[in-house]
Structure 1
Amino acid sequence: MQNLLTDIDGVKVGHADDARLASGVTAVLFDTPVVAALDVRGGGPGTREDALLDLASTVEQIDGFALAGGSAFGLDAGAGIQAWLAEQGRGLKVGGALIPIVPGAIVFDLINGGDKAWGRFPPYRDLGYAAAAAASDTFALGSVGAGFGATTANFKAGLGSASAVTPGGIKVGALAVVNAAGAVTVGDGPWFWAAPFEQGDEFGGRGLPAAFTPEMLTMRLKGAAGATAVENTTLVVVVTDAILNKPQAKRLAMIAQTGMARAIYPVHAPLDGDLVFAAATGKTPIDPLAGLTELGMIAANTVSRAIARGVYEATALPFAGALPAWKERFAR
C-alpha cells in the first residue's frame, strides 16, 4: 500500500502541468471500464459528461476521469484524455465506433498569478493527453497536475491522496484536488481539521489544539468578500475494488462526500463546485447494507485524509503575494 488511489488494482494516475501557466491536469484511468456515479454539493460546479453518471442514463461504465484547472476552459482536458484512450483502442463500442467515456470536472485557478494569455485555444486538451500518457501506478502529491495552482483561504493547496482497507478486506482510495473557498487548517494552523483520521504522520502528526477558541472557529474565506472569493472548488475521486452497481456507487459518493465536511471549514459554499466521483472496479463482493455503510464511512475518512495531504504536500507559487505553503511555516 502506497497510501494512494492507485492502491486499488487497475487504477492509474498521471499529471501534466505548466509552471508558467500555474495550472495543470490530472488523469485517472482504469485498465478496464468501471461502474461510476457522481455526487455534487457545491453551488458552482463545472463538469463534463456528468449526465452519463445519472442513475437513469444508459451508459453503465466509464474509462477514466479528467480533473483540471482552468475553470470552464479546463473541460477541454477530457478531450485530450479521450484521444489518448482512443489510440489505445479503449472505449464504448457503438457499431463500428469506439468512444472512450471520460467524465470530468474543473477548479477555478485563473487568477492565481499564472500567465493565462494562451491565445486562441487553451492548452488543456494537450495537457490532458500528456497526463493520460504519463499515468502510472505511482504519482506525486502537492502542487502538481490539476492541483498545481490550487489554493485555500489561508494556505497554498494542491492534490492529495490516501487509501484504506476495510476490516473485511475491501480497498478504497481517494484523490482530492483541494481548491476550497474555506480553510483546511484549524485557524491558521498548524492543526488540520482532518486530524482525527490521520494515519501515522501523513500530514504532519500535529493532532488538534488543546482547546478551540472563538478565533479558531471564525470563518475564513478566500479573498474574504472580495473578487477572489470565486476561486474555489474541491474535486474528489473515490475508487473501491468492491462489486457495486450504479445506485450503490452513487450512495458511496454521497457518504464519502461527508469527508469534505470533516476536512474543510466551511464547505459546499455557493461558489464552490465541490463534488465526488465514485467508481468501483468490481473485484470483491460486499454486503449491500452494513457492508456498503462501512465502506462509505471509511471512504469518508479517507477523503478527509486526502484533502489534508493536498495542503500538507503543497508548495507555494513563485508570484508576488502568493499564499504560503503549510510546510514553510510549520515543517519540523
Structure 2
Amino acid sequence: MTPLNLLTDIDGVAVGHATDLALGSGVTAIVFDQPATASGSVLGGAPGGRDTALLDPAMTVQAVDAFVLSGGSAFGLDAAGGVQAGLREIGRGFEVGPARVPIVPQAILMDLLNGGNKDWGRHSPYRDMGYDAFAAAGKGAFALGTVGAGTGATTATFKGGLGSASARSASGHTVAALVAANALGSTTIGDGPHFWAAPFEEDDEFGGLGMPPTFDTQMRLKGRTITSTTIGVLVTDAALSKAQVHRLSIMAHDGLARAILPAHLPLDGDTLFSASTGARPLDDPADFLDLCHLATIVTARAVARGVYEATALPVQNAQPAWRDKFPLPAK
C-alpha cells in the first residue's frame, strides 16, 4: 500500500473540498499540476455531467486540467464554473488561439432529499463552492466521509460518503480512486456491518470485519422512484493513451459492482472518470493488465471507505451512519 492510501498518492494530483453541512451538500475538486490524459465511462441509467462527451477516446481533446464531483443534482453542475474560474486565474487551460479554456469535466449526484436546507434563493451556491474547493486543493492527506461531494451522500442502508484508496502494481505504478458513494443499492451485506468489498480490504481500512458466515442477497434500495448516483475518479501515474485510460474507467466500474448491490440501476447515474499523469513509462504492455485489475480493487475499497468514514448529517431525521449502528472499539 502506498503511504496515505489516498488519491494524492499520485504525484501531481491535488484534492480540495467545499462542505456545507446545513445545506447537506458539497463539492470536491481534483486538480492536476499538468493536463492529464483523461477519459471516463457512464454506466448508470440516470447520469448528470458536464463536458463528459469530450472524454470519449474518439474526441479531439486529450487532457483535462481538473475533475469536479458535486452534490446538488443538476444544480450542482455550476460547480465546474467555479473551478474553471480558479484555473483561469492561474493561466491554465486548453489553448484556442490567444484564449485559454480550462477543461473541467464534472459529475453530480442526487442529494436534494437528505434533509438539508436547499432553499438557496435565485442562484445555487455551487459555483462559489467549486471555487472554494479549487482554492482548498492540496497535496497529502485530505478528509473522507461526510465531506465535499460525499457530504449529502446516502445509500440504501447507511449514510454514504467520500472514500479513497490506492495501490501499487508490481511494476511500480500507482493506481488510486476517489469515490462519492451515493448508491441506490447497499454497500453492506444484509442488516449486518460487513461490506461487500471486504475481500479486497487492506489494513482494516473499513473495519477489518471480513465476510459474514452467511449471505443475504435480497435487494435493498433507497427507494424505487428516487434517483441516485455513485461518482468518482480513477488516476494512475502510468503513461497511457486516451484509449487505455478509457479502459481503466470501465475496469473501475467493475469495482462498483463488487462494492454495491445492485449497481448501475436505471435510477443510478454511476459515472467514473479516469486519468493518467504520465509520470512513469509503461515499459511492458502486459503491465497494463495489472493496472486494470487494480483499478477494480481500489474503486471497491474506496466505496466501502466512504461509507465507513461517514457521519450522519446534523439535521432532523438524518440517515444514520454505519458507525452509529456499529460503533468503533475504543483505542
- Change beyond 3 A, Cα 1:256–1:289: farther
- Which residue among 260, 265, 270 is the counterpart of 2:266? 270
TM-score between the two structures when normalised by the length of structure 2: 0.96
For residues 197-222 of structure 1, the C-alpha deviation after alignment (integer angstroms, 9 at most, x for no partner) is 0001100000000122xxx2110000
State how 1:307-326 maps to structure 2 within 5 Å: 307-326=303-322
1:221 aligns with 2:221: yes
1:149 aligns with 2:155: no
Deviation at 1:122, TM superposition (A): 0.3
- Which residue among 279, 285, 300 is the counterpart of 2:296? 300
Partners in 2 of 1:287 and 1:182 — Cα distance? 40
State how 1:40-189 maps to structure 2 within 5 Å: 40-137=42-139, 138-189=141-192
SS at match of 1:301: helix
Aligned sequence identity (%)? 59
Aligned-pair Cα RMSD in Å: 1.0
CA contact (8 A) 1:144 1:159 kept: yes
CA contact (8 A) 1:112 1:149 kept: yes
SS at match of 1:262: helix
For residues 29-57 of structure 1, the C-alpha deviation after alignment (integer angstroms, 9 at most, x for no partner) is 00000100011110011010011111221
Partners in 2 of 1:207 and 1:287 — Cα distance? 36
SS at match of 2:61: coil
Deviation at 1:17, TM superposition (A): 1.4
Partners in 2 of 1:167 and 1:293 — Cα distance? 11
- Change beyond 3 A, Cα 1:245–1:219: same
Structure 1 residue ranges without an equivalent (≥5): none
Deviation at 1:317, TM superposition (A): 1.3
Deviation at 1:189, TM superposition (A): 2.3
Amino acid at match of 1:195: A
Partners in 2 of 1:198 and 1:189 — Cα distance? 17
CA contact (8 A) 1:158 1:179 kept: yes
Instruction: Name whichever of 264-273 and 53-62 sits farther off.
Output: 53-62
Deviation at 1:288, TM superposition (A): 6.8
Amino acid at match of 1:283: A
Instruction: Name whichever of 137-146 and 321-330 sits farther off.
Output: 321-330
Partners in 2 of 1:237 and 1:288 — Cα distance? 25
Amino acid at match of 2:313: L
